[in-house]
Amino acid sequence: MHDNFNELVSLDELVALTRLSRFHLVRAFALHTGIPPHAYQLKLRIERACVLLRAGVTAAEAATQVGFADQSHFTRHFKRIWHITPAQYARMQAAGPGSIPLP
């Protein structure tokens, strides 16, 4: 998932790789990471988007690069995790360390 965070990684693909049942895979994955596979992939995408935003990439470009369908889809998930929009995050980052709340 780390290598293909910006691509759709289906549960069926993970099942094929692990040879576990869907139920057992999701349960084992959640026990290990604390969240199910899809939520983990979203988390990876948001983490990578944060790196891009800190580098000055626009929210629209970051959304595309990390694999979201569009900027609104990206913003919805970003805001759910960070409680601020990507643009607010970028502005706070530009203001300096310590100004960004932890998720």
75-92, pLDDT tens digit by residue?
Answer: 999 999 999 999 999 998
For 40, 43, 52, the CA distances from 11, given in Å and listed in that order, are 12, 16, 27
* Residue showing tokens 């580098």: 55
Q: Say how far apart CA 87 and CA 100 lie, in whole Å.
A: 12
Length of the chain: 103
Nearest to 51 by CA among 89, 7, 8, 103: 89
4 is a domain residue:
no
Predicted confidence at residue 101, as pLDDT, reads: 59
Domain with 64, as residue range(s), is 11-95
User: CA of 52: how far to CAs of 46, 63, 68, 73, 89, in Å?
Assistant: 10, 10, 14, 17, 11
In a domain, 45, yes or no: yes
Predicted local distance difference test score (pLDDT) of residue 100? 58
Q: Which CATH number is 63's domain given? A: 1.10.10.60
Instruction: Write out pLDDT tens, residues 46-61.
Output: 999 999 999 999 999 9
Give the number of C-alpha atoms closer than 13 A to the C-alpha of residue 100, restricted to the C-beta side.
Answer: 20
Alpha helix (H) residue ranges in 5-96: 11-18, 22-33, 37-54, 59-66, 71-82, 86-95
What does the pLDDT average to over 14-34? Answer: 91
**Is residue 20 included in any domain, yes or no?**
yes
Domain count, the chain: 1
Q: Is residue 67 part of a domain?
A: yes
Is 2 within the bounds of a domain?
no
Q: Would you say residue 87 lies in a domain?
A: yes
